[in-house]
């Protein structure tokens, strides 16, 4: 094996730019790693190579010969499109595809990718212009995947910013401008040619006018229509039919008939029809791209937030590096009006940070030492030194993008049905069109009339509007949701939420703010309050419950550190059970103590009941089976939750409140919310049973919770709404995550679901009505090809425009005004 002697554009090992080196690697390190990996091939333990990412890249790029690779890979290669075999290493890649003009394009791309060896999964979304590919790196590399798509006539980019989108649109605008200019001239000359039907024209006169329109229409059809013809041809090569297939056949048929008639000296030429078909389709798709971009801008914007470079502190000073090369623990610096490049914790400095494009909050926050910052947020003023905790796919924005990409490529049963219809509709329309022409010609109609009728059927029956009716509305809704601080993880939930009849709300951290404050602390015996709190904080160190977070915030770090020998286990809905200094320790509610056979004194029971009756949470602490203290924590109701609950009930949704807290505390909050159905002392598994019982009764149930001890209930509900922040978006099994939760945002999610459902129904109705009317009208000869293509484009633009209405100005969150007034 020899190293490449000629320079390449990218490093043969890691893929970074070579930067002028002639050995094929970007740096000396990659060259050394390459030699080490070569030596590893001959070692007695080749299994180590199996999981090495550098080796996988070399295998995929053919740097390691197949005969050497066969020693390491004993598995049988899976058939294209089959699931990943157990123990096999797979990778995923999401690519931006430029040039998909209709949903059939996504079907052709999927089919072509799945035919390629090493590709085990492909899901393309026309609405979001993205394709997600699951592949085996040992068999196929990213460049091979890109080539498959480009060979179909599409452009491929990893990501695309606003500048790239505008550049692509400008290219299409130039093509459209040339086509319009030539088509106008073709139409003007054709009007003169048509005078020959009223006054006699000589053969020379016909040729004098026919040749110029022949030349101009040739430019329109083959230059202006190049994208149409190219995709139609490549789709046919892949065994598929797309919108361009029908338009291309129609334009070429009109053009071919016209050329034939020109050489015959006939006046029956249709160069104007061929030119108008191409020009109208270019105009329609340009307008559609503009409108669709507005509809999907909320989804696209999140990719623009991906940081590119970070200012890293090193021993030699500061230097800029790609964020892909930044590791956890590195220290980076950000100054005013810069984008914070990574997730991290502030080590020093202070500044105002705007996280609105991540969380939907329109106000900035002051961040200082110990605070968490998110990559992609804007540092409005000040200066921060940040220790990196997450970057790339492990950062908050990386996880949000991953979840959104998953949701974008999901297809519900209705979408899969329309995909199947689209797959067979093209061939059926072509057969119907041919049959129409043959029948007319055989029944005595002139060849010209039969051909025109055939072309009309071809172009009017394109089912584009049907194909985009559902996915475009969904993408527009997901984009608007993201801008309002609502992350949609399951696309089906967007519509399902509008059909809910019951909404079950968890109390702590959802109906209430989950910001507990200690209102009372009592200790018995040798433990003073700081020592008691330190012990409890050590026991609660691994818990994510709001009470646990409040306790840890109160404890002295020295006291917590002194309890280092604590061993604890969290019991959801009850508290913490553990050991310290050889004795059992319990921290939790009265039910926990009772389950362990520990009885409270009557006076403490009475005091606990009094605290719970005022909405407070009471925590007891026992050590060695003796109660050594209790603490009472007060939580506050989210100020807009009563109004939100009232609005939900007014819309016919029954609201339930459940909690692992005491019955009295739950009843207090339920009374403040105006909720009649509530239950306290509910364990996590009982929350699941509560949801299941409602579903068996015929209700469609939504569950709203913070995921601390209701993750299972979120998963089994028809729609799960998780509350949280950008750092925990992947933590809980929810369908929709509401960042910076408020009652107003819960209402916004429900309202958006209703709007999405109405839009989908309207889109499907418009698309179906068009196709039911258009084909019979074309078969009857009531329209000509130009009117047919105009009608087809108007049907698509109607569906696109209707979907774009979803993406209009986001719902105003009244909580923002309230917070501004408090600040």
Residue in the block written with tokens 């093209």 = 426
Report the C-alpha gap between 449 and 666 in whole angstroms.
Answer: 78
The least confident of 256-265, 438-447, 523-532, 781-790 is 523-532
What's the pLDDT tens digit per position in 302-348?
A: 666 666 778 888 877 778 777 777 888 888 888 887 888 888 889 98
17 pLDDT band, cuts 50/70/90, is low
CA atoms within 13 A on the CB side of 57: 14
Q: For residue 657, is pLDDT > 90?
A: yes
Count other Cβ atoms within 10 Å, centred on residue 62: 10
Highest-confidence segment of 349-363, 401-415, 633-647, 716-730? 633-647
Average pLDDT value for residue range 478-495: 82
Between 299 and 611, the more confident residue is 611
The least confident of 29-43, 433-447, 506-520, 603-617 is 29-43
Which among 506, 640, 706, 718 is annotated as catalytic? 506
Report the C-alpha gap between 391 and 402 in whole angstroms.
Answer: 13
Report the C-alpha gap between 721 and 815 in whole angstroms.
Answer: 19
Between 567 and 751, the more confident residue is 751
Q: Which helix (H) or strand (E) holds 283?
A: helix 271-304
797 pLDDT band, cuts 50/70/90, is confident
Specify the pLDDT at position 240: 65
**DSSP letter (8 states) at residue 817:** H
Between 396 and 504, the more confident residue is 504
In this structure, what is the dihedral angle of CA atoms 641, 643, 645, 646, given to the nearest 10 degrees? 170
Sign of the alpha-carbon dihedral angle for 145, 147, 149, 154: positive
- This model's pTM is above 0.85: no
The least confident of 36-50, 375-389, 497-511, 597-611 is 36-50
Report the C-alpha gap between 741 and 744 in whole angstroms.
Answer: 8
Specify the pLDDT at position 647: 93
| Euclidean distance between the first and the last CA atom of the chain, given in angstroms as a whole number | 67
Count other Cβ atoms within 10 Å, centred on residue 240: 22
Specify the pLDDT at position 53: 47
Q: For residue 504, is pLDDT > 90?
A: yes
345 neighbors 386 (Cβ within 8 angstroms): yes
505 pLDDT band, cuts 50/70/90, is very high
105 pLDDT band, cuts 50/70/90, is confident
Specify the pLDDT at position 192: 66
Average pLDDT value for residue range 550-573: 66
Q: For residue 614, is pLDDT > 60?
A: yes
Q: Which residues contact 666 (CB under 8 A, 6 or more apart)?
A: 507, 657, 658, 659, 678, 679, 680
Specify the pLDDT at position 360: 59
554 neighbors 533 (Cβ within 8 angstroms): yes
Q: Which residues contact 59 (CB under 8 A, 6 or more apart)?
A: 69, 137, 138
* Helix, strand, coil % over all residues of the chain, rounded to 5: 55, 20, 30
Specify the pLDDT at position 646: 92
773 pLDDT band, cuts 50/70/90, is confident
Specify the pLDDT at position 656: 94
Q: Which residues contact 683 (CB under 8 A, 6 or more apart)?
A: 572, 573, 574, 660
Is 506 part of the annotated catalytic residue set?
A: yes
Output the DSSP codes for 732-769.
S--SEEEET--HHHHHHHHHHHHHHHHHHHHHHHHHHH
Edge-first strand order for the sheet with 91-98 is 119-125, 130-135, 91-98, 155-157
Report the C-alpha gap between 721 and 738 in whole angstroms.
Answer: 7
Computed over its alpha carbons, how large is the radius of gyration of the chain?
A: 33
The least confident of 57-71, 161-175, 222-236, 377-391 is 57-71
Average pLDDT value for residue range 534-546: 77
- Helix (H) and strand (E) counts for the chain? 30, 25
Between 668 and 13, the more confident residue is 668
The least confident of 313-322, 384-393, 697-706, 808-817 is 808-817
770 pLDDT band, cuts 50/70/90, is confident
What's the pLDDT tens digit per position in 37-88?
A: 554 444 334 344 444 444 454 455 444 444 433 333 334 445 554 556 655 6
The least confident of 74-88, 292-306, 470-484 is 74-88
In degrees, rounded to 5, the angle at the alpha carbon of residue 804 between the alpha carbons of residues 802 and 805 is 70
Report the C-alpha gap between 704 and 681 in whole angstroms.
Answer: 17
Helix (H, G, I), strand (E, B) or coil at 517: strand
Between 279 and 729, the more confident residue is 279
Report the C-alpha gap between 274 and 786 in whole angstroms.
Answer: 9
Between 60 and 671, the more confident residue is 671
Task: Kindly report the three-state secondary structure assignment for every residue of 674-711.
Answer: CCCEEECCCCHHHHHHHHHHHHHCCCCEEEEECCCCCH
Average pLDDT value for residue range 78-103: 66
Specify the pLDDT at position 561: 52
User: What's the token pair of residue 336?
Assistant: 């005013």
What's the pLDDT tens digit per position in 165-208?
A: 666 678 888 888 898 899 888 888 877 666 554 456 566 666 77
Average pLDDT value for residue range 596-618: 76
Report the C-alpha gap between 283 and 285 in whole angstroms.
Answer: 6
Q: Average pLDDT of the chain? A: 75
Count other Cβ atoms within 10 Å, centred on residue 636: 12
């Amino acid at each position: 094996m020899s190293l490449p002697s000629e320079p390449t554009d990218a490093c043969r090992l890691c893929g970074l730019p070579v930067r002028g080196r002639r050995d094929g690697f970007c740096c000396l390190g990659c060259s050394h790693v390459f030699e080490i990996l070569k030596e590893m091939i001959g070692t007695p333990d080749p299994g180590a190579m199996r999981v090495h990412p550098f080796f996988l890249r070399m295998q995929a790029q053919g740097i390691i010969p197949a005969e050497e690779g066969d020693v390491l890979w004993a598995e049988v290669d899976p058939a294209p499109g089959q699931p990943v075999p157990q123990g096999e290493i797979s990778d995923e890649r999401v690519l931006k595809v430029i040039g998909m003009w209709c949903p059939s394009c996504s079907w052709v791309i999927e089919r072509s990718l799945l035919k390629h060896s090493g590709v085990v999964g492909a899901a393309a979304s026309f609405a979001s212009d993205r394709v997600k590919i699951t592949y085996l790196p040992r068999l196929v590399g990213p460049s091979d995947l890109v080539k498959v798509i480009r060979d179909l006539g599409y452009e491929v980019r990893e990501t695309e910013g606003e500048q790239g989108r505008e550049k692509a649109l400008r290219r299409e605008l130039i093509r459209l401008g040339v086509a319009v200019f030539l088509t106008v001239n073709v139409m003007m000359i054709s009007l003169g040619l048509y005078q020959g039907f009223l006054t006699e024209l000589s053969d020379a006169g016909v040729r004098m006018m026919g040749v110029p329109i022949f030349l101009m229409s040739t430019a329109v059809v083959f230059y202006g229509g190049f994208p149409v013809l190219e995709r139609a041809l490549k789709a046919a090569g892949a065994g598929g039919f797309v919108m361009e297939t029908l338009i291309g056949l129609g334009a070429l048929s009109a053009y071919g008939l016209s050329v034939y008639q020109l050489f015959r000296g006939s006046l029956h030429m249709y160069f104007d029809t061929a030119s108008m078909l191409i020009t109208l389709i270019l105009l329609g798709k340009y307008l559609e791209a503009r409108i669709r971009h507005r509809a999907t801008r909320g989804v696209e914007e999140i990719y623009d937030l991906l940081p590119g470079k970070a200012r890293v502190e090193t021993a030699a000073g500061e230097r800029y590096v790609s964020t892909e090369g930044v590791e956890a623990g590195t220290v980076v610096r950000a100054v005013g009006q810069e984008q914070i490049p990574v997730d991290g914790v502030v080590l020093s400095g202070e500044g105002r940070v705007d996280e609105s494009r991540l969380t939907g909050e329109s106000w900035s926050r002051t961040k200082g030492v110990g605070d968490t910052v998110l990559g992609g947020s804007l540092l409005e003023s000040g200066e921060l030194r940040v220790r990196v905790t997450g970057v790339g796919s492990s950062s908050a924005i990386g996880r949000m993008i991953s979840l959104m990409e998953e949701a974008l490529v999901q297809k519900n049963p209705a979408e899969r049905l329309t995909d199947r219809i689209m797959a067979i509709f093209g061939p059926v329309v072509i057969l119907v069109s041919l049959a129409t022409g043959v029948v007319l010609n055989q029944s005595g109609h002139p060849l010209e009339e039969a051909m025109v009728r055939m072309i009309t059927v071809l172009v009017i029956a394109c089912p584009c509007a049907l194909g985009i009716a559902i996915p475009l509305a969904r993408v527009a809704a997901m984009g608007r949701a993201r801008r309002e601080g609502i992350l949609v993880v399951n696309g089906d939930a967007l519509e399902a939420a509008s059909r809910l009849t019951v909404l079950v709300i968890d109390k702590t951290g959802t109906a209430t703010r989950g910001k507990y404050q200690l209102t009372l602390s009592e200790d018995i015996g040798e433990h003073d309050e700081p020592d008691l709190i330190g012990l409890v904080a050590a026991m609660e160190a691994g818990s994510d419950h709001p009470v646990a977070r409040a306790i840890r915030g109160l404890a002295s770090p020295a006291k917590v550190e002194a309890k280092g020998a604590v061993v604890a286990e969290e019991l959801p809905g009850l508290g913490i059970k553990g050991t310290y200094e050889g004795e059992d320790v319990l921290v939790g509610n009265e039910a926990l103590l009772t389950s362990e056979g520990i009885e409270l004194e009557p006076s403490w029971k009475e005091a606990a009941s009094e605290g719970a009756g005022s909405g407070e949470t009471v925590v007891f602490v026992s050590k060695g089976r003796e109660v050594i203290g209790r603490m009472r924590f007060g939580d506050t109701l989210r100020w807009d939750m009563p109004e939100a609950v009232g609005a939900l009930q007014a819309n016919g949704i029954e609201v339930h409140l459940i909690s692992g807290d005491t019955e009295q505390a739950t009843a207090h909050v339920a009374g403040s919310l105006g909720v009649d159905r509530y239950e306290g002392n509910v364990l996590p598994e009982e929350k699941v049973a509560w949801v299941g019982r409602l579903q068996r009764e015929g209700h469609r149930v939504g569950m709203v919770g913070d995921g601390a001890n209701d993750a299972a209930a979120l998963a089994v509900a028809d729609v799960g709404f998780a509350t949280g922040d950008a750092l925990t978006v992947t933590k809980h099994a929810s369908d929709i995550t509401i960042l910076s939760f408020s009652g107003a945002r819960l209402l916004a999610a429900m309202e958006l679901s209703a709007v999405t459902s109405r839009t989908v129904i309207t889109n499907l109705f418009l698309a179906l009505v068009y196709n039911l009317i258009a084909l019979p009208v074309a078969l009857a000869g009531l329209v000509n090809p130009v009117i047919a293509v105009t009608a087809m484009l108007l049907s698509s633009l109607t569906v696109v425009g209707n979907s774009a209405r979803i993406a209009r100005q986001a719902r105003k969150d009244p909580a923002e005004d309230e917070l501004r007034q408090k600040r």
